[in-house]
Structure 1
């Protein structure tokens, strides 16, 4: 019998509730942080964006960016435009639908349709596209040409996927942008369904392949919108339906990243996870839309990860504390103190015995406010 060769295994010792255990941990072991760690200034960078960063920061003010998809795409476009980045989908003179209604393209089917139509001239059998007032958007060749012009110039596509519930035409299989105008609804052919992981994965792969074919040097960043469903057409609660809707897309994106991410063209930006796992109570009273401070922090973090022109440490800290304030982890008065650069207001808040909603986060929050105090004094 041959003697087995010696093999070295790496083990990591952990202690849980006074019991020592030894487990083989493998090559990567990333733990879920506690409240104290999630209150630190670099929490989102350390615990959420880890593993999703590009190999190099390549976005500059000269990078030509096209951003569209669900309504969260508009937040990305608006922020980057205010920071003087080159956002092609902000051209108010264009009639391209990705400009006029880009944040209304909420599922992977309709985003794929825009690329198939613009790059390869595909036309669809019925009127699938409608504006905010239910007006029909046709397949006008001039609009297609303007869309193609935008896509053909783009260096970076930022595509935001929103939901996996769709209305579709049973006869043709065509999927609508959103639901169907009341006057056009035909119950014999217009149906609702939840799409599958495989369908969405196929759509996003097709988008990737079309961009690689027609814009081979362009980068693609996919995001999942954190904005939940306003309603579902399923006979179940909207909250549970939303969980499924987001999960379908998140799995499709993750599977594609595992298959194609190493090529260096397809990327994922975890805005969904930043909202749902970093902040205490990230939504406004409607439980759908995000406070401005939370949105601004996510965009500032995007710059820190993706852009050559880096935000300063002071900018990051101010946006982080303002976002914590807006999402209820610390006093809501902090956001105002930061906006006004009020040292007096800041010190008044710091004088309180308790700052953080979670006692475990208290030390980290106080340390950050002391840093901010030093900045305001300087």
Structure 2
């Protein structure tokens, strides 16, 4: 008797692909429909994993496509504080597919939110980038001028990019009841004021995430037809949930929805799923810190080594080695620099001590 499982590859059998293997030896990356060339214009966005891709590309000496650079007189530290050099443009973390789609429609003029500026005693804030300008903008005029420049930078990034790496982070988000505009953070957390009459919680379904993802890809490809897309799902659990349930249950729902939606979107040509979520999850405690949320430096390096090995058309490129342990303080400082990423979502759980930073996510 014959059956379809007789001659399948080792990668398709748990006993040969997973059982008995060390975490560092697990490689679930499937054959790729394309490779990223050294001169490709790569744009990253989404949750925190996208920041690791950008940083590792730079460390390999590859220039990421950047359309909104910092002023040359700004120090590296100050530029990072104002969110320059983290993504192609200064859009901050984009946690949901709806937020990504609305960003594209805002920069092309297809969507203009009614609630587009938050005033406070400290300054004026962008509701859709509430943490990119520490202390807020000094005046409405400064805010609008910055947004005009920012929109131009995003348009250029999305219409000229060769490869787009997007990390799906959350299904929960807060939106305006008036026009459905979604925010990266609940109003009142980093800026603005929460009002239950004006704001509502959304928790997207598989169908909603899939539609938003496919709509974004389709609309951008109308201008940039050769665009290739790499989707990933953040392995980092939710910092907090607004749903009346345990955060673990909310996290499980969110990751399941995002993973299925990514798979659905990969039916489009030139769209590939990179399994960063699976790589970290399979390792269990080995790749998570004591808080069971932050991913260790070892986990980040494993993910990025597979990314470079399989996706980059660079045979000699390898992610940076682990920091030297020549001095304990220096080692800890270097390790923190390797895995730290700007994570707005951490603000939802002020009891933590991560100082609004996170690792892979």
Q: Do these two structures clear the TM 0.5 threshold for a shared fold by scoring above it?
A: yes
Residues 100 and 156 from structure 1, CA distance in 2 versus in 1: closer, same or farther, beyond 3 angstroms? closer
Gaps of 5+ in 1: 1-8, 12-23, 323-334, 341-378
Which residue of 252, 257, 279 corresponds with 1:248?
A: 257
User: In 2, distance between residues paired with 1:311 and 1:294?
Assistant: 21
Residues 143 and 102 from structure 1, CA distance in 2 versus in 1: closer, same or farther, beyond 3 angstroms? closer
Does residue 31 of the first structure (1) align with residue 31 of the second (2)? no
Deviation of 1:92 after TM superposition, in Å, equals 3.4
Contact 2:45-2:94 within 8 A present in 1 as well? yes
State the match for 1:65 in structure 2. 42
Deviation of 1:99 after TM superposition, in Å, equals 4.6
Contact 2:161-2:227 within 8 A present in 1 as well? yes
Residues 124 and 42 from structure 1, CA distance in 2 versus in 1: closer, same or farther, beyond 3 angstroms? same
User: In 2, distance between residues paired with 1:92 and 1:285?
Assistant: 36
User: In 2, distance between residues paired with 1:290 and 1:90?
Assistant: 30
State the match for 2:33 in structure 1. 55
Which residue of 88, 103, 109 corresponds with 1:114?
A: 103
Contact 1:66-1:158 within 8 A present in 2 as well? yes
Summarize deviations over 1:174-216 as a string: whole Å, max 9, x none.
2112211264221112111311111101110011102221111
1:187-336 correspondence to structure 2 within 5 Å = 187-257=196-266, 259-260=267-268, 263=269, 265-278=270-283, 280-311=285-316
Residues 97 and 275 from structure 1, CA distance in 2 versus in 1: closer, same or farther, beyond 3 angstroms? closer
Contact 1:77-1:90 within 8 A present in 2 as well? no
User: In 2, distance between residues paired with 1:283 and 1:239?
Assistant: 15
User: In 1, distance between residues paired with 2:251 and 2:106?
Assistant: 29
Deviation of 1:82 after TM superposition, in Å, equals 1.0
User: In 1, distance between residues paired with 2:176 and 2:315?
Assistant: 47
Aligned length: 291
State the match for 1:154 in structure 2. 161
Larger radius of gyration: 1
State the match for 2:2 in structure 1. 10
Contact 1:65-1:157 within 8 A present in 2 as well? yes
SS at match of 2:182: coil
State the match for 1:82 in structure 2. 59
State the match for 2:120 in structure 1. none
Gaps of 5+ in 2: 72-83, 117-126, 138-142, 327-361
State the match for 2:178 in structure 1. 171
Contact 2:41-2:64 within 8 A present in 1 as well? yes
Residues 285 and 96 from structure 1, CA distance in 2 versus in 1: closer, same or farther, beyond 3 angstroms? closer
Summarize deviations over 1:311-346 as a string: whole Å, max 9, x none.
47xx68x97xx7xxxxxxxxxxxx97xx77xxxxxx
User: In 2, distance between residues paired with 1:304 and 1:109?
Assistant: 31
| TM-score, length of structure 2 as denominator length | 0.71
Structure showing the higher helix proportion among its residues: 1
| TM-score, length of structure 1 as denominator length | 0.68
SS at match of 2:175: strand
Q: Which stretch shows the higher mean deviation, 153-162 or 93-102?
A: 93-102
Summarize deviations over 1:17-39 as a string: whole Å, max 9, x none.
xxxxxxx6499682224764422
User: In 2, distance between residues paired with 1:215 and 1:73?
Assistant: 21
Q: Which stretch shows the higher mean deviation, 199-208 or 278-287?
A: 278-287
Contact 2:54-2:86 within 8 A present in 1 as well? no
